């Protein structure tokens, strides 16, 4: 059967009917080799390399006038096309959901990030079976498929080895996955997943995730080609860069020494000028002003300026390294002789650059995630504590730069990540390179394009239809529009003429060049209850939020608000927004924040968690919920004659986490309050040998957020030591570091055993049991459920 | 040297040359006699936690590494292992133990460890407590400051011990 005669509208593609002859014996039987041949992609179908970086702004890469040297992006742009009106959703998971499925993010349950599966259809964080990713379509049509790096489309609570696995990459169209499931990762100590298995933190001292991602991708490409000389492949390469933690070797950051000493105000002006010179923005574009919420560079102290300049040097080095690693993959494809027929789509950022580091930036993004209020002075002191400027970007910190750098990086637009109402949150650079499919080299395209267009475009390029059914489930049509029509026609009228935007209550409605912006009066780094109560049910009327109206063909940057001149257009677009919102499951607005407003999930039934001694790499979203109340950790040990040492159980690292361990013969407990303060307790006497039960009890002052309390250590039920912890972590120790039994993988919780990491226990840990509900009253349970849900949501906002 | 109580200051910096700037400002205060300064020392704590003296200034605003008892007082209280290389030489066992006692009683040692983490720059100073606000103004670039107080008589006694030790070495 020829490729062309295959019915590809239903997946899996049915095997062709047997056209040979079968007799009683081979005598007279006629074979049909088509019957056993694998499905082949359409003749000439291109390979596809899809790249999406993270938390990166329109004004960052050099190819778009920015200060970050992006040799790969620029090279591809010179040989292909740059798109200067490409849009994301303004938040990580929602963009990735739209990218993968070709549908609007709420329509596939991703109004919010994957860490928060909510109780409304637009916020389930579970891609529906009737909206399968286009990767599944390529896979079913004869492509080899793989995903490397950040996934962020598996609900937080489903990332453990108990599954379910139907929202892991292997189930959603990828033959191979190597990366991390959550929204962020340490770059030096990631907790990695390979297919459906946690492979944990790499042991190599010089491990660096983006480098390893490129190596893995190249290895996979070589493997595919070794197996089949012509099978097309689809590789999705999604670095964690440039999401926090901003971590990169100093040599990369040092390439930018002094490059940002002029500050964010001047940088933005310089970038704007370069953007005009390069022609990536119109000559009549206006530079939007700095919001009042951000300080002028000139108003800062010398120490602040020097620290902040280093923050941006690190971010720039981190971003350049990611681009360099993408270049390694491109080079490998070229070396294989396949670049000409590889469609490369390189998207710089899944949203605008992130404002979530607050105005000062932070040494540890978990401090922000936990709502720990740190003054400017404290932030500086904590940078000092963890190694000073030289350590910013190293594994001693999990840093995020100042919001004002993000604003500068989103030049020439207003705002940034989370702000779906404005282009700083939504508009990102895109470059498309495909020598066999694009005639023009170095061209610019300005048709409106959206992340949900990527899937439809790739399917058209591959020559395969959107399937009507996958695995027996009827598929909803994709919402995006293929932009293949733009490849050879810069002036083609745009076909994606209408698009709603909504993230965390910030709304936008685009229609035929007009854009209505409706931003909630909340700056993206403010998630405290006081700020949010103005948006409570019955208090907030979204239609009373200020509305700004822009006509983008004349006003590229959203600099001139026309709402007062065109009230009828405002009303029309507002109505259209609600129509689109209802069609795509956007309501209830703030559905992803329901936990803030008293809508709580059923109380968890499980209060005791048992881990046997060989359990490692427990995903951070699935560790026992020990926050904000009393809890007990007990362990059964076997200690040989002569004693033992090592970690019994540890979660996360020195920037937030706990470890129960044995050192110098003593039972010890260390608790890091997001790197701000450490609490340590130890037994007064040495541990006995033989079978030993040890226990750490935390008696909270009250079940309340960040409660203090008393720690008591027990050996064989006898109290042996203890002490007070003034504060505890209210939300989560880490966005990416996991829990281990019998060792402390990755960065250690207590630096005292750093030179022995992972400090594996030299006796035997038979099991560790967490009791997270030992002393609660019913009222306390209710209060805690309320807080836990708030906390969970707060984490999700910053993921 | 007056009998006034003395403030023992540790100021920590993210950026070494800004520590130097504040150091110079403090020495200037001494030179101008705006406040009565016993001594000012510019230090750097390396990644292993070892403190190195970069520069020192005395009560007259003179700079150098071995500029007299006031500097010795600062070093003895805040970084006693450096006494040998700055003020009194290696044979100052007796005086070092006196400093150790004061460090313990005043909590200065603990403050020093907490205030000046490895990898940071610092300014250490001892001055008359009534000059505190002038000093605070001079330390425009400090990220963190920590102050302990000792009485004037103790300071005098320690300084005398230093002088004695130095004389012993000379003789």
Cα-based angle A738, A744, A748 (whole degrees, multiple of 5):
95
Interface of A with B in 348-377 (CB under 8 A): 377
In the predicted model, what is the mean pLDDT of residues A100-109?
A: 98
Determine the pLDDT at residue A231. 97
Percent of chain B whose predicted confidence (pLDDT) is above 90: 22
Burial of A723 (0-12, 13-18, 19+ CB in 10 A): middle
Are A661 and A646 a contacting pair, CB within 8 Å?
Answer: yes
Determine the pLDDT at residue B170. 44
Full 3-state SS string of A415-479: CCCCCCCCHHHHEEEEEEECCCCCCCCCEEECCCEEHHHHHHHHHHHHCCCCCCEECCEECCCCC
* Residues A184-194: tens digit of each pLDDT: 999 999 999 99
User: In this complex, is the C-beta atom of A381 within 8 Å of any C-beta atom belonging to chain B?
Assistant: yes
In the predicted model, what is the mean pLDDT of residues A739-766?
A: 97
- Chain A residues in contact with B123 by the CB 8 A cut-off are none
* Residues A260-301: tens digit of each pLDDT: 999 999 999 999 999 999 999 999 999 999 999 999 999 999
* pLDDT-based confidence at residue B157 (cuts at 50, 70, 90): confident
* pLDDT-based confidence at residue A571 (cuts at 50, 70, 90): very high
Determine the pLDDT at residue A555. 98
In the predicted model, what is the mean pLDDT of residues A356-370?
A: 90
Q: Lowest mean pLDDT: which of A122-136, A377-391, B50-64, B153-167?
A: B153-167
The Cα-based distances of B35 to A263, A373, B128, B132, B141 in angstroms read: 37, 37, 7, 9, 19
User: In this complex, is the C-beta atom of A170 within 8 Å of any C-beta atom belonging to chain B?
Assistant: no
Determine the pLDDT at residue A121. 96
Asked whether residue B89 carries a pLDDT value surpassing 60, the answer given is no
Q: Lowest mean pLDDT: which of A462-471, A595-604, B121-130?
A: A595-604
Here the tokens at position A609 are 């968690």
Q: What are phi and psi of A390, to 5 degrees?
A: -65, -25
User: What mean pLDDT value characterizes chain A?
Assistant: 94
In the predicted model, what is the mean pLDDT of residues A129-135?
A: 98
* Residues A244-267: tens digit of each pLDDT: 999 999 999 999 999 999 999 999
Closest to A118 (Cα-Cα) out of A776, A716, A698, A585: A585
In the predicted model, what is the mean pLDDT of residues A328-355?
A: 98
User: What mean pLDDT value characterizes chain B?
Assistant: 79
- Residue bearing the bigger pLDDT, A329 or A205: A329
Here the tokens at position A383 are 């940078």
Distance of CA B162 to the CA centre of its chain: 14
Determine the pLDDT at residue A2. 57
Asked whether residue B1 carries a pLDDT value surpassing 70, the answer given is no
In the predicted model, what is the mean pLDDT of residues A451-475?
A: 98
Closest to B118 (Cα-Cα) out of A752, A384, A364: A384
Best mutation target among A304, A360, A375, A384 (most B Cβ atoms within 10 Å) is: A384
Contact A381 B143 (CB under 8 A): yes
Determine the pLDDT at residue A100. 98
Contact B12 A384 (CB under 8 A): yes
* CA–CA dist A324, A75 (Å, integer): 11
* pLDDT-based confidence at residue A307 (cuts at 50, 70, 90): very high
Percent of chain A whose predicted confidence (pLDDT) is above 90: 85
Asked whether residue B67 carries a pLDDT value surpassing 70, the answer given is no
Closest to A390 (Cα-Cα) out of B14, B101, B19, B5: B14
Q: Lowest mean pLDDT: which of A57-61, A433-437, B105-109?
A: B105-109
Are A764 and A613 a contacting pair, CB within 8 Å?
Answer: yes
Asked whether residue B91 carries a pLDDT value surpassing 50, the answer given is no
Enter the ipTM.
0.82
Closest to A500 (Cα-Cα) out of A111, A114, A767, A48: A111
Q: What are phi and psi of A553, to 5 degrees?
A: -60, -30
Asked whether residue B163 carries a pLDDT value surpassing 60, the answer given is yes
User: In this complex, is the C-beta atom of A385 within 8 Å of any C-beta atom belonging to chain B?
Assistant: yes
Determine the pLDDT at residue B90. 44
Work out the minimum CA distance from A793 to partner chain B, whole angstroms: 33
- Residue bearing the bigger pLDDT, B3 or A469: A469
Asked whether residue A491 carries a pLDDT value surpassing 70, the answer given is yes
Best mutation target among B47, B118, B140, B143 (most A Cβ atoms within 10 Å) is: B143
Here the tokens at position B141 are 């670039």
Closest residue, chain A, to B142 (C-alpha)? A303
- How many other CB atoms are there within 10 angstroms of residue A11's CB atom? 22
Q: Cα(first)–Cα(last) distance of chain B, in Å?
A: 24
* pLDDT-based confidence at residue B171 (cuts at 50, 70, 90): very low
Asked whether residue A167 carries a pLDDT value surpassing 70, the answer given is yes
Here the tokens at position A305 are 């300026």
* Residues A392-408: tens digit of each pLDDT: 999 999 999 999 999 99
* Residues A519-535: tens digit of each pLDDT: 998 888 777 777 888 99
């Amino acid at each position: 059967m020829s490729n062309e005669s295959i019915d590809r509208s239903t997946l899996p593609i049915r095997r062709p009917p047997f056209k040979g002859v079968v007799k009683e014996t081979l005598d007279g039987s006629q074979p049909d080799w088509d019957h056993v041949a694998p499905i082949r992609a359409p003749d000439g179908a291109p390979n596809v390399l899809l790249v999406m970086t993270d938390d990166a702004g329109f004004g960052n890469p050099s190819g778009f006038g920015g200060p970050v040297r992006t040799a790969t992006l620029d090279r591809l742009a010179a040989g292909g096309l740059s798109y200067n009106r490409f849009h994301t959703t303004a938040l990580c998971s929602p963009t990735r959901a739209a990218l993968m499925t070709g549908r609007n993010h709420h329509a596939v349950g991703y109004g919010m990030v994957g860490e928060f599966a909510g109780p409304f259809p637009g916020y389930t964080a579970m891609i529906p079976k009737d909206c399968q990713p286009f990767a599944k379509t390529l896979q079913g049509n004869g492509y080899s498929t793989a995903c490397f790096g950040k996934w962020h489309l598996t609900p937080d609570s489903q990332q453990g080895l108990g599954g379910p696995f139907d929202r892991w990459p292997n189930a959603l169209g990828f033959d191979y996955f190597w990366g991390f499931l959550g929204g962020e990762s340490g770059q030096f100590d990631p907790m990695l997943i390979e297919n459906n298995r946690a492979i944990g933190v790499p042991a190599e001292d010089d491990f660096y995730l983006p480098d390893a991602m490129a190596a893995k991708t190249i290895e996979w490409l070589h493997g595919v080609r070794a197996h089949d000389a012509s099978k097309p492949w689809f590789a999705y390469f999604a670095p964690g860069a440039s999401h926090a933690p901003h971590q990169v070797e100093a040599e990369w950051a040092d390439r930018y020494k002094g490059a940002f000493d002029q500050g964010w105000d001047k940088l933005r002006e310089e970038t704007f000028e370069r953007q005009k010179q390069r022609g990536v923005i119109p000559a009549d574009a206006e530079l939007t002003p700095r919001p009042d919420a951000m300080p002028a560079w000139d108003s800062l102290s010398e120490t602040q300026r020097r620290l902040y300049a280093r923050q941006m040097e690190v971010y720039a080095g981190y971003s350049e390294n990611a681009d360099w690693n993408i270049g390694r993959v491109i080079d490998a494809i070229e070396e294989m002789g396949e670049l000409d027929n590889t469609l490369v789509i390189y998207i710089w950022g899944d949203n605008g650059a992130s404002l979530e580091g607050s105005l000062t930036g932070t040494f540890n993004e978990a401090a922000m995630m936990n709502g720990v209020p740190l003054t400017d002075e404290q932030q500086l002191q904590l940078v000092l504590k963890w190694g000073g400027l030289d350590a910013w970007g190293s594994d001693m910190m999990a840093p995020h730069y100042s919001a004002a750098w993000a604003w500068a990086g989103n030049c020439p637009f207003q705002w940034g990540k989370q702000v779906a109402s404005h282009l700083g949150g939504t508009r990102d650079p895109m470059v498309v390179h495909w020598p066999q499919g694009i005639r023009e080299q170095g061209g610019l395209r300005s048709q409106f394009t959206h992340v949900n267009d990527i899937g439809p475009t790739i399917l058209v390029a591959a020559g395969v239809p959107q399937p009507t059914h996958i695995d027996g489930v009827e598929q909803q049509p994709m919402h995006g529009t293929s932009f293949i029509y733009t490849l050879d026609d810069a002036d083609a009228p745009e076909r994606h003429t209408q698009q709603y935007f909504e993230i965390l209550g910030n709304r936008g409605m685009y229609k035929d060049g007009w854009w209505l912006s409706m931003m909630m009066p909340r700056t993206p780094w403010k998630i405290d209850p006081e700020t949010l109560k103005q948006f409570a049910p019955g208090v907030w009327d979204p239609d009373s939020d200020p509305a700004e109206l822009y006509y983008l063909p004349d006003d590229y940057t959203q600099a001139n608000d026309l709402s007062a001149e065109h009230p009828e257009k405002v009303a029309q677009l507002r109505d259209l927004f609600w129509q689109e919102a209802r069609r795509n499951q956007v309501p209830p607005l703030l559905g992803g924040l329901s936990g803030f407003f008293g809508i709580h999930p059923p109380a968890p039934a499980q209060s005791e968690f048992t881990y046997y001694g060989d359990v490692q790499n427990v995903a951070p979203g699935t560790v026992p919920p020990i926050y904000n109340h009393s809890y007990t950790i007990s362990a059964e040990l076997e200690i040989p004659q002569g004693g033992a040492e090592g970690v019994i159980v540890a979660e996360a690292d020195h920037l937030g986490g706990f470890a129960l361990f044995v050192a110098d013969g003593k039972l010890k407990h260390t608790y890091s309050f997001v790197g701000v303060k450490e609490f340590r307790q130890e037994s007064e006497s040495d541990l006995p040998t033989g079978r030993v039960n040890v226990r750490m009890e935390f008696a909270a002052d009250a079940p309340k957020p960040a409660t203090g309390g008393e720690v008591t250590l027990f050996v064989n039920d006898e109290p042996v030591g203890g002490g007070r912890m003034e504060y505890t972590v209210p939300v989560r120790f880490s966005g990416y570091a996991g829990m281990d039994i019998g060792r402390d993988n990755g960065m250690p919780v207590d630096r005292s055993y750093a030179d022995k990491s992972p400090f594996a226990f030299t006796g035997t840990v038979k099991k560790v049991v967490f009791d997270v509900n030992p002393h609660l009253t019913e009222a306390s349970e209710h209060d805690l459920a309320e807080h836990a849900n708030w906390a969970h949501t707060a984490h999700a906002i910053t993921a | 040297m007056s009998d006034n109580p003395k403030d023992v200051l540790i100021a920590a910096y993210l950026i070494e040359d800004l520590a130097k700037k504040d150091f110079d400002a403090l020495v200037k205060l001494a030179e101008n006699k705006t406040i009565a300064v016993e001594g000012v020392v510019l230090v750097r704590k390396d990644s292993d936690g070892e403190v190195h003296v970069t520069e020192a200034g005395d009560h007259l605003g003179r700079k150098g590494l071995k500029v007299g008892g006031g500097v010795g007082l600062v070093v003895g209280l805040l970084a006693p292992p450096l006494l040998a290389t700055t003020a009194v030489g290696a044979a100052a066992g007796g005086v070092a133990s006196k400093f150790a006692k004061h460090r313990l009683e005043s909590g200065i040692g603990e403050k020093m460890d907490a205030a000046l983490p490895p990898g940071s720059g610092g300014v250490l100073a001892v001055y008359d407590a009534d000059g505190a606000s002038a000093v605070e103004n001079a330390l425009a670039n400090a990220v963190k400051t920590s102050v302990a107080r000792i009485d004037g008589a103790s300071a005098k006694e320690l300084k005398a011990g230093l002088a004695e030790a130095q004389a012993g070495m000379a003789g």
